[in-house]
Structures are given as structure tokens and as C-alpha cells.
Amino acid sequence: MKPSIRPAAVAGMFYPGSAVTLARELAQMLDDAPQKQVARPKAIIVPHAGYAYSGPIAASIYASLGALRGTVRRITLLGPTHRIAVSGLALPASTAFATPLGTVPIDQQAVAAIVDLPQVIVHAATHAQEHSLEVQLPFLQTVFGDFSLLPLAVGDASPEQVAEVLERLWGGEETLIVISSDLSHYLPYDIARGTDAQTARHILDLDPTLDHRQACGATPVNGLLLAARRHGLQAQLIDLRNSGDTAGDRSRVVGYGAFAFHEVDQHAN
């Protein structure tokens, strides 16, 4: 395959376009994150808005993962499509993704492991301007350093189809699954808090019946919840806030949650 790089599309909008400014902002958010005890996760759910809005919530879970640097070498990253609709789960046509912090290679072994599935397609246009995956990359680069990436933009698919893909990519301790999703959208602050608390309960119960009013990434989230059930994982709530808590107007807020999924016996130790 001829090397090709998917350039950063939302640098300077969702997060700083300067490498120096971006690195400084990430370091500050990670330093400011509350120190929570998190069992070693197999998967996480993190929000994907502009860093001014959801960055502190994302940092709350990424800050706990520093001990996995050098162990986690493969990231499977799923997020919803916002600009171009697609049927199934879309792989990029590129061989690397770029951010101001550098490039991340696409895991070609992981691509080969799933490309035969009927719900998996290659669709460059879906990835070209999609922010749900890109905004995670600077956090991942900062926390993990060198790793390979398997990015999937999830469109019209069933939770079972997502879970089937995750099963093939599950791997061992070298693989972390990252699901990028915000929660409720544009509700008044108090209503959003109640709605997002109910959504968090569904996630903690591994109930794969969320709809897109509860989470824009409901499809990949539901797929993860199915897979987590099958692997006997337990969910942990790390943070639950909204844009009214960070940088937004409280009349219309967007909800953000951070969750970790780990083996049950790890939580007991």
C-alpha cells in the first residue's frame, strides 16, 4: 500500500493547532484531573467535543492511564460519524493519521483481521473531516507515546455488528479499546444532568439499548457493552459532567461521560 497520511482536520478548532500550545494544554488538563483509582481498563468511553468543553472530562480518564505507557501498543478507536453518513463501520484509506504532535500509523494487521467482514468498508471521505476520532489522538499520543491505531467511523450498524468487529480486535494487554461518544445534546442543564445520569446507569449495567438521544455514539457504545458482557467486564464511572460545568451556556448543554471497563477480579484487588 502506498503510504498516505490523513491530515488533521480540526486542529485549530476543536483543539490548538500549535504543537507547543497543544502539548501545554494537554499537560495542564492531565495535571488538573482528579486522581481517581482506576483498575487497569480493557476499554474506555470518552467524550469528543472541543477541548474547552469536554477536555477536562476526557482528561479525567486519560490521566489514570499513564502506567500503561509501553504496555498498550495498539489502540482500537471507534466513534460516530457526524458529517458523512455511511453504512457499516468505515476504515480510512490512509496509512497514518496526523495531528500537530506527529503521525500515528494505521495498524495494518488489525485492518487485515476485519476487512473481510461485510459490515466493514474502506471509505476515505467519511474520515476526512470527522472529529470524533481525531480529538482523541493528541490525548493518546501524550499518554501512550508510540502506538498503532485502528480507527473506525461507525455509521448505520447494529450493536452485534460492532461487537463482532471488537471481538476480532480484542487482543491482550497490548490493546486498548477507545469508544468516542458524547451524551445528551442541547438540553437545559438540570434536565441534562438527569438524562445523563440515567444513561450512565445503562452503561454501568452493561445494557446495550442506548439510543442516539442519550449518546451520539450509541452504536459503538452499545457494541462495546455487548462485548463487555461477553468478556465479563465491569464498568466504572470516572466522570460525568456537561458543557454547563466547563465552558458553556447552561440553557443548552451537551453531556460528557468518562467510563472504564475492566475485569471484575481486578476491581476486587
Nearest to 183 by CA among 174, 175, 193: 193
pTM of the entire structure? 0.96
Q: Which residue has the cell 457494541?
A: 223
20, part of any domain: yes
Q: What residues pair up with 238 in beta bridges, in sequence order?
A: none
Contact yes or no for 41/176 (Cβ under 8 A): yes
183, part of any domain: no
185, part of any domain: no
Domains of the chain: total: 1
Give the range of the structural domain holding residue 211, as residue numbers without chain letter.
5-172+192-268
CA angle 21–76–93, rounded 5-degree value: 85
Per-residue burial over 71-100, b = 16 or more CB atoms within 10 Å of its CB, e = otherwise: ebbbbbbbbbbeebebebbbbbbbbbbbbb
223, part of any domain: yes
CATH number at residue 215: 3.40.830.10
Contact yes or no for 259/183 (Cβ under 8 A): no
Written as tens digits, the pLDDT of the chain (269 aa) is: 567 999 999 999 999 999 999 999 999 999 999 888 788 999 999 999 999 999 999 999 999 999 999 999 999 999 999 989 899 999 999 999 999 999 999 999 999 999 999 999 999 999 999 999 999 999 999 999 999 999 999 999 999 999 999 999 999 999 999 999 999 999 999 999 999 999 999 999 999 999 999 999 999 999 999 999 999 999 999 999 999 999 989 999 999 999 999 998 644 44
